[in-house]
Amino acid sequence: MIRSVIRGCGSALPRTCVTNAELAERVDTSDDWIVERTGIRQRYIAQDDETTSTLATEAARRALEAAGMDASEIGLIVLATATPDHTFPATATQVQAALGCGGGIAFDVAAVCSGFLYAMATADAMLRTGMAKAALVIGAETFSRILDWEDRTTCVLFGDGAGAIVLEAQDVAQDGPGILASKLHADGAHKDMLYVDGGPSTTGTVGKLRMKGREVFRHAVVNLAEVLKEVSADAGIAASDVDWVVPHQANSRILDATARKLDLPPEKVVVTVDQHANTSAASVPLALDVAVKDGRIKPGDLVMFEAMGGGFTWGAALVRM
Ligand code: ACO
């Protein structure tokens, strides 16, 4: 059977790391408050010369290197972002140009924190129908550019970064590697709980992120528990068979609550929110790369990806590495 197989992954972070203590020098907050409510200890913030496309390109180069592949073999780039370099062209096309692999398909996907799950499912469908043989799926963000640095309830929560995987269509056995199942959802009724208050067609400005944190928290735990059950059922896999969960890194309390609802031991959950904060679409591939590079996730492991974000949008995917 034809499946999309993860050949390699990579990630990139801005040069500048900002600890909670450093943030507390310019925002009315404290290391204790941030750690206790979110688990975040530091985040990386892009400087002027670092953009979503430069971070994405670096992550993509590292994913290609890990896959042992050349950019010329990539026929499809799907890039998830809510903070593109420009309103258009798509940031994916800028990455394509920087990698020097023009001619194939390249476009962006906007599903905010679930963007990487949406991008991976889209690339998977396109690979399995033969539209390309190999794809780069990238999540990349510079959320620091859309934060209201006067709003302590949101600005402490986010960071910048990028992560990428190389997916390749391969003919594999039933118990072989690849994406086994994915599920995506959206419910536009909840826009006002998490949104950016600007845009080209409304205010003509970029806008700033606005969030009702408590309501987002409540919806995230319920929606994620449900979608994880759906994907496990689709793939015919029990939650206890999953080797690793690589979740969207919004907040350690959401991660703990979701794991508890599913009876998953916390040591199976890859946590990087302490190091990177919430990097939106970049957080899942960034966390994957950390756990692959430190040797936790190995070939053959069964890995669950999950995310929920503005819209609301949410989704999950089960992958054999
Ligand atoms: N530093 C210090 N104090 C703060 C800060 C801060 N950065 N932010 C808020 N406070 C204060 C508030 O002013 C309030 O003070 P008051 O009681 O005197 O009015 C107090 O802390 C409690 O504020 P709440 O907003 O009620 O705090 P809560 O316990 O709900 O925690 C948080 C806030 C961390 C945002 C929580 O609601 C949460 O985790 N929500 C999930 C949202 C999330 O993670 N979103 C990410 C994007 S969506 C996604 O990726 C899924």
Q: Give me the CATH number covering residue 182.
A: 3.40.47.10
Which one of 139, 155, 171 terminates a domain?
Answer: 171
Query: Which atom of ligand 1 is closest in space to residue 37's alpha carbon?
Result: 34
Which residues span the domain enclosing 141? 2-171
- Whether 77 and 216 share a structural domain: no
Distance, CA of 233 to CA of 212 (rounded, Å): 32
Total of domains in the chain = 2
Ligand 1-lining residues (CB < 6 angstroms): 29, 33, 37-38, 113, 152-153, 156-157, 194, 211, 213-214, 216-217, 220, 248, 250-251, 253, 278, 308-309
- Whether 218 and 301 share a structural domain: yes
Locate the DSSP E strands across 85-188: 105-109, 134-142, 160-171, 178-186
Query: Which atom of ligand 1 is closest in space to residue 248's alpha carbon?
Result: 50
Which residue, judged by its Cα, is nearest atom 32 of ligand 1? Answer: 213
Inter-residue contact 11 to 290 (CB < 8 Å): yes
From 29, 149, 217, the mutation candidate for ligand 1 (largest count of ligand atoms within 8 A of CB) is 217
pTM given for the model: 0.97
Which one of 128, 152, 171 terminates a domain?
Answer: 171
- Whether 158 and 297 share a structural domain: no
- Whether 230 and 132 share a structural domain: no
- Whether 158 and 259 share a structural domain: no
- Whether 223 and 110 share a structural domain: no
- Whether 108 and 12 share a structural domain: yes
- Whether 12 and 135 share a structural domain: yes
Q: Show pLDDT as tens, one digit a residue, over the chain (321 residues).
A: 999 999 999 999 999 999 999 999 999 999 999 999 999 999 999 999 999 999 999 999 999 999 999 999 999 999 999 999 999 999 999 999 999 999 999 999 999 999 999 999 999 999 999 999 999 999 999 999 999 999 999 999 999 999 999 999 999 999 999 999 999 999 999 999 999 999 999 999 999 999 999 999 999 989 998 999 999 999 998 888 999 999 999 999 989 888 887 788 899 999 999 999 999 999 999 999 999 999 999 999 999 999 999 999 999 999 999
Is residue 190 flagged as an active site residue? no
